[in-house]
Amino acid sequence: MALFLVLILLATIGARWGWLRSFFGDVLAVAWVYLVFKTFVAARVLPVGLAALGVGLAVELGQFLASAWHLHISNRALRIVLGSTADWWDVLAYVIGFAAVLAIEALREALRAVRPTASAPRSSTPSR
């Protein structure tokens, strides 16, 4: 939920923040899509991460095709969410977001592996 709020702030208030809004927003967008997918799909990290990256790349392809075919999204909110200009920097940001998801999930898994497990309850009778 916090990530979604950060994305909303970047899309609205952050319009004057240039690089932070555009590039970092795209990095976070892939992570957000990943988290949404993981909420509904019980799958391994890599397939879900690739699906989230695919969504970002599909948006970028849509921007490119809209530009090539001279289409214009009239809805302002949709234009903010989807963007209006295809850019290779956006593709790089999506890939960085995908890599960040993989790295964070690997770190979480490593921390989970070293965390001590709860020991079995001890019996109340002393052993001899």
Question: According to the model, what pLDDT value does residue 83 have?
Answer: 78
Given a contact cutoff of 8 angstroms between Cβ atoms, the answer to whether 26 and 90 are in contact is yes
Question: According to the model, what pLDDT value does residue 82 have?
Answer: 76
Given a contact cutoff of 8 angstroms between Cβ atoms, the answer to whether 100 and 27 are in contact is yes
pLDDT averages per 10-residue partition of the chain, 128 residues: 68 65 84 94 97 96 89 80 85 97 96 75 60
**Rounded to two decimals, what is the model's pTM?**
0.77
Angle at 127 between CA 125 and CA 128, to 5 degrees: 130
Report d(CA 91, CA 65) in Å as an integer. Answer: 15
Q: What are 19's two structure tokens? A: 């690089």
Report d(CA 57, CA 61) in Å as an integer. Answer: 6
